[in-house]
Chains A and B, each alone.
Chain A
């Protein structure tokens, strides 16, 4: 358990770009719960790679179009 996930996302913006898709509609499309969408959008939860790929697929985007590092870990700086 950590405070503040270093992985950000553009889920909220993408939902609005997609006909103001509701959180529940996105959750159903990705096969997860609305509460997890709330946690992701609030920056409270970092998804697994599989979930990140499923969410990206819903918007027909690449994973790194949807998810990004807020602060890359030191080991990745190089």
Chain B
């Protein structure tokens, strides 16, 4: 469980850290994020190849989940921190927002490219994977509903001075953020099930 938390948290923090470099660092933070994803993708791929030699490598869905957790948390961390820096009155067509959007989408590209590196060339999944997926999706759904309720309450009953300052673009990005967080929760929950399965039993129910 610690490994899942560490991967998620470190990716979130790296993403948030990259958001501080927009317009400050000589290299685009998005390119740094993309490079980090490619390098870590290669490292993980070699690690899984070594595990495969001893028959201890993760299956196709588990690989996709580790990749999804790390890259979604990184892209999410960058987005959350960017929204924080930009502030509630966010306007879509401003130089700062353009720069952060370019960085964010560059990292999305990095996530797609690194998936090509880490994915199983011979993907297989079965009922056990589908069972874990269903339970993970339930956790993600609960996270999404919880956030939607929280956001509804804030938008509906929050102090007018705060809510009125939120631009249309900011509200839409907050909604996107809830989707990203729900995905992170789902990936983490599914990975937790694979880890539990190494120690305990699961039955089809």
Contact = CB atoms under 8 A, between A and B. Distances in A.
Interface in B176-205: 193, 196-204
Nearest to B193: A1
B203 A2 contact: yes
B200 A34 contact: no
Contacts of B129: 33, 36
A27 B204 CA distance: 18
B60 interface: yes
Interface in A10-56: 23, 27, 31-36, 38-39, 43-48, 50-51
Q: How large is the interface on B (under 10, 10 to 19, 20 to 34, 35 or more residues)?
A: 20 to 34
B167 to A, nearest CB: 44
B187 to A, nearest CB: 17
Contacts of B3: none
Nearest to B128: A36
B203 A33 contact: no
Given A2-B202, A36-B127, 18 more contacts: A1-B202, A2-B203, A3-B200, A4-B200, A5-B201, A23-B55, A27-B124, A32-B126, A32-B127, A32-B128, A33-B125, A34-B59, A39-B202, A44-B198, A44-B199, A45-B202, A46-B201, A47-B204
Interface of A: 1-5, 23, 27, 31-36, 38-39, 43-48, 50-51
16 contacts: A1-B200, A5-B202, A5-B203, A32-B127, A33-B128, A35-B58, A36-B126, A36-B127, A36-B129, A39-B128, A44-B198, A44-B201, A46-B201, A47-B204, A51-B126, A51-B127
